[in-house]
Structure 1
Amino acid sequence: MKRGKVKALKVLLATGLAVSFFLPHLYLSPVSAAADSTATTSAIGVVKKLPKVEVIATGGTMAGKSTDETSFDTYRAGSLPIEDLVKSLPNKDQIAEVSTYQFGNSGSSAYSMEQLYDLSLKVDEALKTQDGVVVTSGTDTMEEIAYFLDLTVQSPKPVVVTGSMRPWTVIGTDAPANLYNAIKLAASGKTKYFGTVVMLNDEFHAAREVTKTNSYRTDTFVTPEIGALGYIDEKNIRVYRAPFRALKPASDWATPFNLNKISKKDIAKVEIAYSYQDAGPGAISGFVAAGAKGIVTAGTGAGGISKAMSEERAEAIKKGVIFVMTTRTGSGSNYSNGDGVIAGDNLNAAHARILLLLCLSYSKDFDTVKNWFTTIGYGQIELPSK
């Protein structure tokens, strides 16, 4: 090989761009992320531009104010403005030009689907001028908020959802570190085309798969069986795997769930029915009576439900209600399809509800909804045949 070609290959390897042979647009983003930003001067005097990152705040524990410095569990969530939290972060001007927007200041479970509709549109609006967005959220329903954004935000730029398990004002809080690292991750561009990711405890996870596993511990967010996408260790941001969306061509990247095409009143009502020993039919019949257009069942084992629930489900299907089967076990897959019933694959019940809700907001046709679950929801990588 000629010397010039060898030198060019070494440059590619040093920058990580050679990996783009396998992931077409995945590792180009760190280069393009700093396109429209303020400038900073490096140690050798070279002027480089900083990426622009907007932090959109919804409240939660991160913005919580504790009774005192050791009140780890006694605090008022959603009390501190995001502008003040960002201002207090040290060295942020070394990683990004950071702006803030106070969308709300409440616990995550206080938000309605209509408000999440507005939040998603705000994220897309911000990404027209920003290189990445960080959304701060309470952790109780963070996985649902993140998956809703994952399925509806149309821009492929980085969206990072973060929060904390301890309020900002206690000793040993994880809040400032999580916020700083979320900004760093968004600014790096390394999750461009990943969809929305969740970042806490120095780890980042795909919104589709991550779930909260403990009510108090700071390492509560876990991706069962599959594991995290990567880790942040000071200046090192390591990506060890990519979600299936990162492998899709840019022209086919966005989901069909463009919120500009529907109104808030179009958002479908979808509920979750939990099965257990000798579970009665009341949950399903009650949800149907209240106007549910879809119901996700969190079943035992591989997704089974009780005899009474099964009989009531059959009656609901006759009325046009669409069901998705998931397991309550915390991990594992479900493959049970049938008349009016769609397999949830390895989506947990909360994630499956978000997807079914969006599907039914755009179509009432069973086959269309099932196809969206198969192509968007299952998230499996299709390898070319030999």
Structure 2
Amino acid sequence: MDHRTEAAAAPSSLPRVDLLALGGTIASVPGSRDAGALPTVGADALVAAVPALAEVADVRATQVLQVPSCEVTVPDLVALVATMRAAVDAGATGVVVTQGTDTLEEAAFVVDLLWDRPEPVVFTGALRTPDSPGADGPANLLAAVRVAVAEQARGLGVVAVLNDEVHAARLVRKTHSSNPAAFSSPGAGPFGWVSEGRVAVVTRPAWSSPALSLEAVGAVESVPRVALVRVGLGDDAHLLEAVEAASFDGLVVEGVGGGHVPRALVPVLARLAGRIPVLLASRTGAGETLTRTYGYPGAEIDLLGRGLVGVGRLDGAKARLALVLALASGLDRTSAADLVALVGGGAR
């Protein structure tokens, strides 16, 4: 990317970690006394603000983006994976990505679906700006670098490290808008932590390989359009009919409970499932979509029988991104839906 700058680094006997900075709260300070915070702190300054990093790793800082996390895109992340590959091929022991926490769980998930190396990739950020009392960015960055050089972290896939906890990218969620302890993994918890500078990994994820290859996804010049619709009490079919008319490439429906919708939505969902992949997630934030418990119109047995595909433990946001990548890689409607279900542990 033309806007990238890289800090020169002196030779070091310490393990090398490449820091790829995307912006976000960890890099945001007010532009003036009365203005809100903007991501303007550069990658080199992030490293300089944490002198203890020099005792842990030879950190090479690169400014990849300088944006709030809501501006990060799927093509940005696909390009980021290529940059990560180049970093480990050049000798990096691990990679740390700093970005805004609003979409950190989604960005880490996309990269995890594509990352095919044993070297750790660690996402981190901050809930408080650098000028705030009790700013959490420096501690999060130091913990992330410690995880990136830890032998225990090899082969874990992509992780998120915040508040001294290590979470799997496929499970982690931001569950509070502003608390520094905002990240959790519902139903599983963190699989490790950092304590007194020591990284402890107490469980390992069941998956061991990426779901898709970077080569299959390619440059993602045209991102597939996948809609995400959250169902609520009393919903009618008007929003889904708008989705149908707009010619989306795929749809994710976040149903209530184990994956249920009002019966008024069933006809349009059935029509859509005959044309495009339609995935069924739960809006609850924990647990899995059901497959064989309820049989009323709009319940999971009915919807799965009409061609919808349950995504197991994935929430709607992650299911949407997995479907975007699956479609971008050239998979057909059925294969793309099946791949997302496999990632989420769902069943047809």
TM-score by length of 1: 0.79
- Residue pair 1:108, 1:138 contacting (<8 A) in 2 also: yes
1:326 matched residue in structure 2:
281
- Write the letter of the residue equivalent to 1:256: L
1:317 matched residue in structure 2:
273
2:232 matched residue in structure 1:
276
Q: 1:145 to 1:259 in 2, by over 3 A?
A: farther
1:60 matched residue in structure 2:
24
State which structure, 1 or 2, has the greater radius of gyration over its C-alpha atoms.
1
Give the count of matched residue pairs: 325
1:344 matched residue in structure 2:
311
1:181 matched residue in structure 2:
143
1:86 matched residue in structure 2:
47
After superposing the two structures, state which structure 1 stretch, 264-273 or 174-183, moved more: 264-273
- Residue pair 2:101, 2:127 contacting (<8 A) in 1 also: yes
Q: 1:155 to 1:267 in 2, by over 3 A?
A: farther
Cα distance between partner residues in 2 of 1:174 and 1:343:
37
What SS class does the counterpart of residue 111 from structure 2 fall into?
A: helix
- Write the letter of the residue equivalent to 1:281: A
What SS class does the counterpart of residue 185 from structure 1 fall into?
A: helix
Cα distance between partner residues in 2 of 1:62 and 1:333:
33
The structural deviation recorded for 1:326 is 0.9
Q: For residues 139-181 of structure 1, what are the alpha-carbon distances to aligned partners after superposition, in whole Å with 9 as ceiling and x for unaligned?
A: 1111110100000122221000000000012221001100111
The structural deviation recorded for 1:360 is 1.6
2:75 matched residue in structure 1:
114
Cα distance between partner residues in 2 of 1:220 and 1:335:
27
Cα distance between partner residues in 2 of 1:149 and 1:263:
14
- Write the letter of the residue equivalent to 1:61: T
For the pair 1:218 / 2:185, whether they are aligned, the reply is no
For the pair 1:356 / 2:323, whether they are aligned, the reply is yes
- Residue pair 1:255, 1:376 contacting (<8 A) in 2 also: yes
After superposing the two structures, state which structure 1 stretch, 259-268 or 119-128, moved more: 259-268
After superposing the two structures, state which structure 1 stretch, 106-115 or 335-344, moved more: 335-344
Cα distance between partner residues in 2 of 1:203 and 1:171:
21
- Write the letter of the residue equivalent to 1:55: L
The structural deviation recorded for 1:112 is 2.2
The structural deviation recorded for 1:379 is 9.0
Q: For residues 355-385 of structure 1, what are the alpha-carbon distances to aligned partners after superposition, in whole Å with 9 as ceiling and x for unaligned?
A: 11111222443442244234433299xxxxx
TM-score by length of 2: 0.87
- Write the letter of the residue equivalent to 2:66: N
Cα distance between partner residues in 1 of 2:243 and 2:20:
34
For the pair 1:123 / 2:123, whether they are aligned, the reply is no
Which of 15, 39, 45 is equivalent to 1:51?
A: 15
1:10 matched residue in structure 2:
none
What SS class does the counterpart of residue 264 from structure 1 fall into?
A: coil
Percent identity over the alignment?
Answer: 29
What is the alpha-carbon root mean square deviation over aligned residues? 2.3
Pairing of 1:1-386 with structure 2 (within 5 A): 39=12, 49-66=13-30, 75-129=36-90, 130-245=92-207, 248=208, 253-259=209-215, 261-318=217-274, 320-336=275-291, 337-378=304-345
Q: 1:312 to 1:375 in 2, by over 3 A?
A: closer
Q: 1:296 to 1:175 in 2, by over 3 A?
A: same
Q: Which runs of 5+ in 2 are unaligned?
A: 1-9, 292-303
- Residue pair 1:324, 1:341 contacting (<8 A) in 2 also: yes
What SS class does the counterpart of residue 144 from structure 1 fall into?
A: helix
The structural deviation recorded for 1:287 is 2.6
The structural deviation recorded for 1:261 is 5.0
Q: 1:81 to 1:211 in 2, by over 3 A?
A: same
1:384 matched residue in structure 2:
none
What SS class does the counterpart of residue 56 from structure 1 fall into?
A: strand
What SS class does the counterpart of residue 244 from structure 1 fall into?
A: coil
- Residue pair 1:270, 1:294 contacting (<8 A) in 2 also: yes
